[in-house]
Chains A and B, each alone.
Chain A
Amino acid sequence: DGGITQSPKYLFRKEGQNVTLSCEQNLNHDAMYWYRQDPGQGLRLIYYSQIVNDFQKGDIAEGYSVSREKKESFPLTVTSAQKNPTAFYLCASRDLGTRSNQPQHFGDGTRLSIL
């Protein structure tokens, strides 16, 4: 089954702790994205990557870090520097092939809460 898998579905963070959210896709998509969703604010871009071993900051990158060591994987670490991490985190991917601009497809998200 082709798709984007995010894990875990629910995650709790203690003060001062770093936590890592997993995102895996088997769609052979080049680009991957992390968004944060807060009530009433839509989706805001944290980081994105268009190729392995390269990634770019989005609009709200402070307190987050990512890596892209494999095409299919784009984990997001929420560091202790992120003072308000409680949110719904969404991973997306997109084909950057020769066809016209392709839409993004999303995983089912990880809900992160502070203990």
Chain B
Amino acid sequence: QKEVEQDPGPLSVPEGAIVSLNCTYSNSAFQYFMWYRQYSRKGPELLMYTYSSGNKEDGRFTAQVDKSSKYISLFIRDSQPSDSATYLCAMTDTGRRALTFGSGTRLQVQP
């Protein structure tokens, strides 16, 4: 079993839809949670960064962390064709050397 599970998609939605992307994890020591967006042939770009449980909002993006369920989500409101990309969740505890990534979900927003 992978330490972080993420549905690979592809997830196809119409423009303007609310998108929900999710990851589950097994390591209860994880405390820092990140979402990266990756366009084709480019490096991942940091979108959201949260610590412990709770919500964080930034423009059209909201990140949620539920540590009791070991479940994190990224919501995208009013989705745009430019949001079409692969979304990677990543997480770490306070002392780990690097991030543990999900396999990424490919999102397609249809105009």
Contact = CB atoms under 8 A, between A and B. Distances in A.
Contacts of A106: 36, 43-45
B46 interface: yes
B34 A103 contact: yes
Nearest to A3: B43
Contacts of B104: 42
A90 B104 CA distance: 15
Q: Which of A41, A50, A111 has the most CB of B within 10 A?
A: A41
A106 B46 CA distance: 9
Interface residues of B, number: 26
Interface in B13-61: 31-32, 34, 36, 41-46, 49, 51
Contact of B103 (A42, A103, A109): A42
A108 B42 CA distance: 5
A42 B99 contact: no
B76 interface: no
B107 to A, nearest CB: 15
A103 B36 CA distance: 10
A45 interface: yes
Contacts of A48: 97-98
A114 interface: no
A68 interface: no
B88 interface: yes
A50 B88 CA distance: 24
Contact of B43 (A42, A56, A101, A108): A108
Given A103-B34, A104-B46, A105-B46, 7 more contacts: A33-B98, A41-B103, A42-B4, A43-B99, A109-B42, A109-B43, A111-B41
Interface of A: 4, 6, 33, 40-43, 45, 48, 50, 56, 58, 90, 100-101, 103-109, 111
Closest 4 CB pairs of A and B: A106-B43, A42-B103, A42-B101, A43-B101
Interface of B: 4, 6, 8, 31-32, 34, 36, 41-46, 49, 51, 88, 90, 92, 94, 97-99, 101-104
